[in-house]
Structure 1
Amino acid sequence: MKLIKQFSLTALVASFVTVLAACSEQTNTASVEKARIQAHLEFLADDQLEGRDTGSQGYEIAANYVASEFKKIGLVPAGTDGYMQRVPFRRAFLNQNSTVVKIGSGAKAIELKYPQDYMMGANTSSTESSVKAEVVFVGYGLIAEDYNYDDYAGLDVEGKIVVALTGRPKAWPSEEGAHLGSGKVKSANAAKHGAIGFVTLHTPKREKVRSYTTSLNYLGAPSLRWLDEEDTPFGVQKQFKGAAYLNIDAGKKLFANAPTALEDIFVLDNEDKEIKGFDLNTSIELASKSRHEKITSPNVVAILPGSDPVLKDEYVVFTAHLDHIGLAKDVTTKDRINNGAMDNASGVSVLLETARVLANSERPRRSILFTVVTGEEKGLLGASYFANNPTVPLTSMIANVNLDMPVLLYDFADVIAFGANHSSLGAVVEKAAGELGIGLSPDPMPEQAIFTRSDHYNFVKKGIPAVFLMTGFTSKTEGEDGGKVWGEFFAKHYHKPSDSLDLPINYDAAKVFADVNIRIGLTIANQDERPYWLEDSFFGKTFGQTGK
């Protein structure tokens, strides 16, 4: 729906609240109404919200809209200020003229060119950073006890700068590998061993997936981290005095004095053979300057209290991220607004209708915690902040059901539940979907490791079983290929201005998707036992209690 540009934003919010309030007066039925989902989605994906970027006015309007809906439904505020839990962020901008990367010392030192040879991100810990130290190659930079794997074995990196390849061993399962091989875990491994800087090497294998040139499109993008009570950015290795990402040719220069040529290392990487680390017999200097600013952006949190005198103190957590990526960088395009209709106005709209239906039905035994989060597009930051600063006891959260980017463009006949193979929630999803004639299909793209790439992952890392539903690839409509529709959305519209209300949004599918999630939430909230991790789950063994 296109809104008149002269319409004031205050009046815009008020008009939608009035319309939906009128709808509420007309019916008290506890069933999903697709018109309500449509109304929410059309508001949240409208141009006047300008893509709901974290910290923007458009995001604030969206957050106020969600809070007003929670209030109208009658949910209990569960933020730190009413429904709001305001998240403090530090946003850092790299001074791109300040970057320095030099290999070696003295007259033979080689100064690399930015950004042709290397990229840097803004430093959220310090406005000025500089370090020069000896360099040690550490393979992928991984440690995994479950796989008897340690790239740091026999290496001394204390007070040195480590150099690691992108990626991980191909033989590792995708989800486990995505966790163990993440940049955060690699950085933590290096810091634990005393490193003071980190250099990542682009590889031919990585080039086939995402080219170095493509990554240059993100030059100048700010870095964002949430701040703890001591005003310290969370998850940052403060002992690191510098970091850089080198392209292939720059990496070869770094390996000029190495006992093994980088080309030979790339062969081992491509063939998934063992890679051993070693001293590179040179030093590297890293330096940069950054500018800092402080912003805030709220999570919106509410509770539907449970009915059981004991179980009401336990919570089933529904999450959906409200933010998107704001305005496109290309100022020459006619439409720069990344509306994020599917990503994730659709998920928030389904969550709001889920909340309304549950609030107007017989109360579940356990309480339901609705958490609409900010900063997902910046690195799952709002959910991370909530998981580390919960407004209800963390141990009382028994399960997380995440609503992120349901592609509501076709009559899906099945769903995919990321996380279903890790906990008892898989059986819950299968039963709930089956009651509506919807099948549960296995992950069709395990190599993407999607289980570690949305907000529920922060709850998983706190030991809370989680499931994340996606529309499956089978369609009820004869001749329609759901997987093709899904794939075309990602190829043509994902993170682009065309993810907008102009898409052929299927609100019948939205209704079914909401019904499935409602049934999942009710089953978890009403069953006697809490969800549990399966005994063979890597995430259960790593973060939570296994077994019943």
Structure 2
Amino acid sequence: MIRSILAAGAALTLAACNGAGTETGSSLDIPQVEPGDISQQTMIDVTRTLSSDEFEGRMPGTAGEEKTVALLTEKFAAAGLEPGNNGSWVQKVPLVEITGKDFAPLTISGDGETKSYDFGPHWVGVTYREEVQTKLDDSELVFVGYGIVAPERGWNDYEGIDMTGKTAVILVNDPDFGTESLEGPFGGKAMTYYGRWTYKYEEAARQGAAGAIIVHDTAPASYGWNVVESSWSGPQAYAQRGENAPPLTTMNGWVQNNVAREILSMAGKDLDELTGMAKTKGFKPVPLGVNASTSFRNDIRTFESQNVIGVLKGKTRPEEYVIHTAHWDHLGRCTAAEDGDDICNGAVDNATGTAALVALAEAHAKAGAPDRSLVFLAVTAEESGLLGAYYYASNPVFPLSQTVGGINMDAFLVGGPSKDVTVVGPGKSQLDEFLNQALKADGRFPTPNPNPEAGYYYRSDHFAFAKQGVPMLYVDGGEDLVEGGREAGAALGAEYRENRYHGPKDEFDENWDWSGVMQDLQLFYRIGRMLAMSESWPNWNEGDEFRATRDASCEAGEGC
């Protein structure tokens, strides 16, 4: 990410907006607030309902969406919210759904040798183009390392090659993966946006590539092949493209690590050796001398999905907004489990976060309107690439220059209480000061994300707002459980990732212990209430990649 230095004029303006100090010694106005009356029964009931088979995995554009939107509208109204979009509860989000079918094998040929790989167990692929037939025909493979072009870092993995008609073979994550510190050209072990698959496909398209294939590896991807297969097969939703849209590849896909090794071996190359070369500055792309071919057909459907928006109007500064986000969608029907169950119910991901919007709305309404308005935004199509969040951030109902900041809630692992919380992306903004005061009031402490290499800050809905300059907090449940400590916390997370994440077994369990979730909700209540009662406008810290965008937004608007 490009790191920018704050302009002096903006610094003076924002310093004036920061308000009075408090007894905490902070330069920000961080008021003390009482605990909220948050209903555990609401969390249980809404999570259970949203993740029931009746909702069919909450895929956008299905009957599951209709039921989800109806339930949230009903619950927001009952909680005491007002419709958030000029009298409507919803913001329509135009999408296109492309469902691939009749997949030919991925065939690799060169020097008289041909290998063939089946869709699903060996490779997956999709197209973003609205075309009924996708065909990759003898496209030359080029190993492009991590597929990064970062002029501000002096890095160009495509230097000196014309990718027109060719297919890029790309490593997952970024060149610093595997380091132990947070020092390095790409943030050390902490993944940057350059490490995300979304960026890699976008850059390959900018380079004119016909295809882009990412080499899967569980550690740097932070998830197994089962997640790739279930997430990239079946219907795929995308934002409808307008005029002057960026270029697209013909096909984007993934290959299993052992498949990539075989392909490179055909080319007389070694994956480990090439990976080592790709980590060094000055790496040059490596043409492989083998060609890839495949084809598949596409069913195309255009439709409108919906973000659901409720607002609790502020009593003294209603034109200033604090936002809470969670995505209501999940994967619908997906790769079946051994017992034949093919509904990805998404109980943890993200029926829990959606239920949290309802429970927090109820609690804030019970406490009475704060000074600033509180926005509760349930967004669509997160699983398809944060599409609902991006649409709102590009078409905000409430001006982003008047949006103070926000909290994103994505997947509460339901376990016992913890001594800490996991902060994803710590040190990025002054919202950390509000978080620290809320933690102090609850007698807990922050733990930096133990897996910064996974790039979680760039993988949920808050990122769409951050790119537009709005300071956003993303906090997960704690790692240090009251019963069992960090070992128990790690085991809880590992069990979910390995057995339930993005699979049919992410189901509601009547025996869940909700005490830890309620502890986290109390924290989010305090932070939201503090922001809504404060006079400060927290900003990104100096040097953060989103600071310049926020400063420009503040200068142009009437808020911060």
Query: TM bucket by the smaller chain?
Result: 0.7 to 0.9
The answer to whether the 8 Å contact 1:166/1:200 transfers is no
2:285 corresponds in structure 1 to 277
1:179 corresponds in structure 2 to 193
Question: Hey, what's the Cα distance between the residues in 2 that align with 1:41 and 1:204?
Answer: 32
**1:293 corresponds to 2:307:** no
Measure how far apart 1:418 and its partner are. Answer: 1.6
Q: Where do residues 434-445 of structure 1 align in structure 2 (5 Å cutoff)?
A: 434-445=440-451
Query: What 5-or-longer segments of structure 2 have no aligned partner?
Result: 1-34, 178-183, 555-559
Q: How many residues align?
A: 507
Question: Hey, what's the Cα distance between the residues in 2 that align with 1:257 and 1:49?
Answer: 47
Q: Where do residues 137-156 of structure 1 align in structure 2 (5 Å cutoff)?
A: 137-156=143-162
User: 1:376 is matched with which residue: 378, 382, 385?
Assistant: 382
2:56 corresponds in structure 1 to 50
Deviations 1:141-192 (A, max 9, x none): 1022343211123333356544433442125336863411223322333333
Kindly report the root-mean-square deviation, in angstroms, between the aligned alpha carbons of the 2 structures: 3.6
**1:121 corresponds to 2:130:** no
Measure how far apart 1:428 and its partner are. Answer: 0.8
What is the SS of the residue equivalent to 1:435? Answer: helix
**1:356 corresponds to 2:351:** no
Question: Hey, what's the Cα distance between the residues in 2 that align with 1:478 and 1:247?
Answer: 36
Percent identical: 25
**1:481 corresponds to 2:495:** no
Deviations 1:499-521 (A, max 9, x none): 33325323333332222111101
The answer to whether the 8 Å contact 2:173/2:221 transfers is no
TM-aligned CA distance change 1:342 to 1:284, over 3 Å: closer
Query: What 5-or-longer segments of structure 1 have no aligned partner?
Result: 1-28
Question: Hey, what's the Cα distance between the residues in 2 that align with 1:532 and 1:494?
Answer: 33
Measure how far apart 1:266 and its partner are. Answer: 2.7
**1:225 corresponds to 2:238:** yes
1:262 corresponds in structure 2 to 269
Opposite residue 195 of structure 2, the aligned amino acid is G
Q: Where do residues 414-429 of structure 1 align in structure 2 (5 Å cutoff)?
A: 414-429=420-435
What is the SS of the residue equivalent to 1:153? Answer: coil
TM-aligned CA distance change 1:219 to 1:451, over 3 Å: closer
Q: Where do residues 382-393 of structure 1 align in structure 2 (5 Å cutoff)?
A: 382-393=388-399
TM-score (norm 2): 0.79
Question: Hey, what's the Cα distance between the residues in 2 that align with 1:457 and 1:436?
Answer: 27
User: 2:247 is matched with which residue: 237, 240, 251?
Assistant: 237
Measure how far apart 1:241 and its partner are. Answer: 3.2
TM-score (norm 1): 0.80
Measure how far apart 1:497 and its partner are. Answer: 4.2
Measure how far apart 1:99 and its partner are. Answer: 6.4
Question: Hey, what's the Cα distance between the residues in 1 that align with 2:224 and 2:351?
Answer: 30
1:18 corresponds in structure 2 to none
**1:191 corresponds to 2:191:** no
The answer to whether the 8 Å contact 1:346/1:406 transfers is yes
Question: Hey, what's the Cα distance between the residues in 1 that align with 2:153 and 2:535?
Answer: 36
1:495 corresponds in structure 2 to 502
Question: Hey, what's the Cα distance between the residues in 2 that align with 1:323 and 1:277?
Answer: 38
TM-aligned CA distance change 1:492 to 1:525, over 3 Å: same
Opposite residue 540 of structure 2, the aligned amino acid is W
Deviations 1:388-415 (A, max 9, x none): 2222223322312011112232122221
Is 75-84 or 248-257 further displaced after alignment? 248-257
Measure how far apart 1:71 and its partner are. Answer: 1.7
Measure how far apart 1:459 and its partner are. Answer: 1.0
**1:465 corresponds to 2:465:** no
Opposite residue 532 of structure 1, the aligned amino acid is N
Question: Hey, what's the Cα distance between the residues in 2 that align with 1:278 and 1:343?
Answer: 39
Opposite residue 383 of structure 2, the aligned amino acid is E
Deviations 1:70-129 (A, max 9, x none): 22233221237710123232111223345675646xx95857444376542244432224
TM-aligned CA distance change 1:505 to 1:312, over 3 Å: same
Opposite residue 247 of structure 2, the aligned amino acid is Q
What is the SS of the residue equivalent to 1:415? Answer: strand
2:99 corresponds in structure 1 to 93
Question: Hey, what's the Cα distance between the residues in 2 that align with 1:201 and 1:321?
Answer: 26
1:38 corresponds in structure 2 to 44
Deviations 1:49-81 (A, max 9, x none): 233232232332122111112222332212377
Question: Hey, what's the Cα distance between the residues in 2 that align with 1:142 and 1:40?
Answer: 42
2:327 corresponds in structure 1 to 321
TM-aligned CA distance change 1:49 to 1:527, over 3 Å: same
